[in-house]
Amino acid sequence: MSKIEINNIYKIFGNKPDSVMQMVRDGSTKDEVLEQTGHTVGLDNVSLKIEEGETFVCMGLSGSGKSTLIRHLNRLIDPTEGEVIIDGTNIMQCNSEQLMDWRRNRISMVFQRFGLFPHKTVMQNVGYGLEMQGKTEDDRDKIAMEKIEAVGLNGFENQFPNQLSGGMQQRVGLARALATNSDIMLMDEAFSALDPLIRSDMQKQLMSLQSELKKTIVFITHDLDESLRLGDHIGILNAGKLVQVGTPVDIIMNPADDYVKAFVKDVNRAKVIKAKIIMKKVNEVNGIDKSNLIKVHEDQFIEEFLPQIVCTNANCEVVDKSGNTKGYITNKELQSSLTKS
Amino acid sequence: MFKDKKNLFNLGLLGIFIWMLISSYSSSKRKPETIGELFTDLSWLGNWPKWLDLPLMPWINKWFKALNENYGFIFEAINNVLLAMLMGLKNFLVQAPWPLVIIGVVILAYFASGKKIKTTVAVGFCTFFIGFLHPRFWDKAIETTSIMLISIFLCLVIGVPIGIWMSRANRVREKILPILDLMQTIPAFVYLIPGIMLFGLGAVPAIIATFIYAVPPLVRLTDLGIRLVDTEVTEAADAFGASKKQKLWGVQIPLALPNIMQGINQCTMMALSMVVIASMIGTRGLGDEVLLGLQQLNVGRAAEAGIAIVLLAIVLDRITQSYGETLQERNSPSKKEKK
């Protein structure tokens, strides 16, 4: 069973969403619906599964419905139709008590513009979720301090959010989300408002935290590089429809349609594709020149061993952790994987 | 379904309009002998006919009389409560030695302004000059202030909750906004007169009138303040499982407080101007002095009282305003650092 299952979600914004449902089901596009009824289609029959412990990145341009989608998971937005099942429970059927309990303990969120409380100190901000859980102030401060240390903000705990830089503010947001010890974390364009250097810093930090914590993270972004870097799986949304779900390599190697193609066109493939993806397996290979071989680990990105190959004009031998040969890479494979489709 | 309701509503309005026409015609004493004359003699299309006159005045007078006779005890109860509060406050301030009152105001200003010496000293001098202008003004200023404080207290107790309610429900907002417009545009004398009839001459109708005049900005700014709280911040409160109450008291009201304080400031200023007008219905206080000056064509006397009112306004404005400012600085400390 998947951790999160989203089944046939429709979301229509407007005065009378139900009246438009039939039209949307019959396959009218977003523009048609808007023109004829004045309703905006936010999500159009979206279904997906997210596994426990993975980072699922939801990608799309602005207006594609990605922020709407993520808000369905903690019901900041209710769908017009469809269900969201988390750990086997349909959260659409929760009453407001259960929902509140759910939000306090199971799911936390990081916001694009941080969503910090300007009248509370960093410590109080981080402890907010714990306060909602009903913990005493001493407990709150203790856990909050741990999380503040985890994101590297020691010494700033008594400052107010406005006294911090953007990157530091988002660290507070991250610490706040981590503090409740929820198993699901929603990140709504969490790093989009940060400048590139700080953004990559934060990505690194998130990845290292995630490697310890193994939370289920749903990450929203419009930045393909970010999604390739962070995502175990990526879902691409266009005009409220989910056009493709797959691993980063899937998306790059087999884009489902022109929209996805346009997205991945400018990606630096050498940065994303690992050796094991493009290698030819041992049993498929014959007649390779084995006189001049370079050993490459299977999880290495092409980028890392490409310069060596170019200089020595050698072939690669791909090995796993214990040194067993898994396959070979020749110039031909390199060429086909790096050529833009 | 929804459309039907709307049609029904419009039909109802049309019905009321027709009923108004008929009742104005039938109750008029100057209508033609027969209805037939309306069609034969078309002169009524020239000047506005005498019979086309909605008898609102007798209706209201009748209704008001009935209200006074049947529910007079309610107004008397309100009257007694407000009067008791007012007297308590006034007597306390009047009987206290004046230097103590000035010191009290100065201390209040000191803490409200976030310990700014300049504001505090200015407020202290203004307070002193009220009595310094004319010894009689001191007690009168206290009387005026007491009436205002009671009105503002009413405004707070009633206005802020209404503002909060408006900010949470658009339908409530739609219904209350026109009422606020009405309260702000209807001339004060229109509700001063029924005030006298219900509560008698004196301070209580002034308190009621001041309340009606001064509460709209407070309601509006409370509503606006809560609506202006960043949606992402309220979303964050929701996302971490805050209940409605926790969200309101822990996030929305603290963040709306600078705006609410601005509302209280506006409320205070409007209350002061109303207290002056209310002197016309026999409310004592500084407005009374202006009125006397006016009646005696004594320019100096009116000016003295006018200046005293301005000084009182400055004192109240500085105290409420600077409290709002200190709050704002607390919410955006980065600005404070730049100073």
pLDDT value at residue B338: 36
Does the beta-carbon distance from A76 to B255 stay under 8 Å? no
Residue A167 at interface with chain B, using a CB cutoff of 8 Å:
no
Task: Give per-residue pLDDT as tens, A52-64.
Answer: 999 999 998 888 8
| Chain A residue whose CA is closest to B254 | A119
| Terminal-residue alpha carbon distance, chain B | 60
Report how far apart, in Å, the C-alpha atoms of A305 and of each of A300, B5, B242 are: 8, 73, 51
Q: State mean pLDDT over A35-48.
A: 89
Residues of chain A neighbouring B230 (CB-CB closer than 8 A): 113, 115
Chain A: closest CA distance from residue B229 (Å): 10
State residue A337's pLDDT score.
79
At residue B325, the pLDDT reads 75
What residue spans define the domains of chain B?
A: 1-54, 56-338
B238 interfaces chain A, CB cutoff of 8 Å: yes
Q: Is B310 left (phi over 0), alpha (psi -120 to 50) or beta?
A: alpha
Q: B243: which chain A residues are within 8 Å (Cβ-Cβ)?
A: 100
| CB of B246 less than 8 A from some CB of A | yes
Residue B329: per-residue pLDDT: 66
Reading the block at residue A63, the tokens are 């207006």
Q: Which of B244, B269, B247 is nearest to B256 (CA)?
A: B247
Quote the CA–CA distance of A83 and A89 in Å, as a whole number: 10
CB atoms within 10 A of CB B217: 21
Q: Which residues of B touch A165 (CB under 8 A)?
A: none
- Which residues in B326-338 are b (16+ Cβ under 10 Å) and which e? bbbebbeeeeeee
Secondary structure (3-state) at B28? coil
CA distance to partner chain A, nearest, from residue B242 (Å)? 6
What is the tens place of the pLDDT at every residue in A230-282? 889 999 998 888 999 999 888 888 888 898 888 888 887 887 788 878 888 88
Ranges of chain B whose pLDDT falls below 50: 333-339
Burial class of residue A250, CB neighbours in 10 A (0-12, 13-18, 19+): middle
The token pair that represents B98 in the structure block: 């004046």
Predicted local confidence at residue B332, as pLDDT: 56
Nearest-angstrom CA–CA distance, A117 and A102: 21
Judge: A176–B240 Cβ closer than 8 Å, yes or no: yes
Rounded Cα gap, residues B109 and B290, in angstroms? 27
Helices (H), chain B: 2-27, 37-40, 56-95, 98-112, 117-133, 135-168, 170-185, 188-199, 203-228, 231-239, 244-247, 253-277, 286-295, 299-331, 333-338
Write out the two tokens for B336.
């404070």
Of B235, B241, B243, the CB nearest to A115: B235
The verdict on a CB contact (< 8 Å) between A163 and B330 is no
Q: Please count the other Cβ atoms lying within 10 Å of the Cβ belonging to residue B2.
A: 8
Å between B4 CA and nearest CA of chain A = 16
Structure tokens belonging to residue B158: 């009633």
CB contact under 8 A, A76 and B239: yes
From residue B187, how far is each of B167, B191, B198, B213 by CA, in Å?
A: 27, 8, 18, 9
HSE-up (13 A, CA, CB side) for residue B144: 33
CA distances to B62, B203, B205, B257, B281 from B192, in Å: 18, 11, 7, 32, 8
For the record, the structure tokens of A81 come out as: 């139709």
Q: What DSSP line would sit under B64-96, residue for residue?
A: HHHHHHHHHHHHHHHHHHHHHHHHHHHHHHHHS
Q: What is the 3-state secondary structure (H, E, C) of chain A?
A: CCCEEEEEEEEEECCCHHHHHHHHHCCCCHHHHHHHHCCEEEEEEEEEEECCCCEEEEECCCCCCHHHHHHHHCCCCCCCEEEEEECCEEHHHCCHHHHHHHHHHCEEEECCCCCCCCCCCHHHHHCHHHHHHCCCHHHHHHHHHHHHHHCCCCCCCCCCHHHCCHHHHHHHHHHHHHHCCCCEEEEECCCCCCCHHHHHHHHHHHHHHHHHHCCEEEEEECCHHHHHHHCCEEEEEECCEEEEEECHHHHHHCCCCHHHHHHHCCCCHHHHCEHHHHCEEHHHCCCCCCCCEEEEECCCEHHHHHHHHHHHCCEEEEECCCCCEEEEECHHHHHHHHCCC
Mean pLDDT of A212-219: 92
Q: Are A233 and A247 in contact (CB under 8 A)?
A: yes
- How far is C-alpha B292 from the chain's CA centre? 25
Distance from CA of A237 to the nearest CA of B (A): 23
* CB-based contact B241 A132, cutoff 8 Å: yes
Q: Which fold has domain B56-338?
A: MetI-like fold (1.10.3720)
CB A12 within 8 A of CB A39: yes
Predicted pLDDT of residue B336 = 39
Domains of chain A, CATH where assigned? 52-70+93-268 (3.40.50.300), 272-338 (3.90.1280.20)
Token pair 């914004």 is at which residue?
Answer: A13
What residues of chain A, 195 to 214, have a C-beta less than 8 Å from chain B?
none
pLDDT score of A285 more than 80: no
Of B236, B241, B331, the CB nearest to A111: B236
Question: Token pair for residue A232?
Answer: 């175990």
Q: What is the reported pLDDT for B337?
A: 40
What b-and-e string marks burial along B49-65, b requiring 16 or more CB atoms within 10 Å of the CB?
bebeeeeeeeeeeeeee
Nearest to B262 by CA among B225, B315, B289, B212: B225
Name the amino acid, one letter, at B239.
A
Rounded Cα–Cα distance for residues A160 and B336 (Å): 12
**DSSP code, position B296:** T
Helix axis angle, A30-37 relative to A17-25, nearest 10°? 140
Q: What is the mean pLDDT of residues A91-116?
A: 91
At residue B95, φ and ψ (nearest 5 deg) are: -75, -25
Q: Furthest-apart CA pair in chain B: how many Å?
A: 84
Count the Cβ atoms, other than its own, within 10 Å of residue A137: 11
For residue B219, report the phi and psi dihedrals to the nearest 5 degrees: -60, -45
Within a 10 A sphere around the Cβ of A39, how many other Cβ atoms?
21
What contacts B116, CB < 8 A, 6 or more positions away? B110, B322
Task: Pick the closest to residue B222 from B163, B143, B157 (CA basis).
Answer: B163
pLDDT tens digits along A126-181: 999 999 999 999 999 999 999 999 888 999 989 999 999 988 999 999 999 999 99
Residue A224 Cα, gap to closest chain B Cα (Å) = 24
* Residue among A104, A119, A133 minimizing CB distance to B331: A119
CA distance A266 to B292: 84
Amino acid at B69: E
| pLDDT, tens only, A294-334 | 888 887 888 888 888 888 877 888 888 888 888 888 888 88
A109·B240 Cβ contact <8 A? yes
Give yes or no for a contact between B233 and A173, defined as CB atoms under 8 angstroms apart.
no
b (16+ CB within 10 A) / e for A219-240: bbbebbbbbbbbbebbbbbbbb
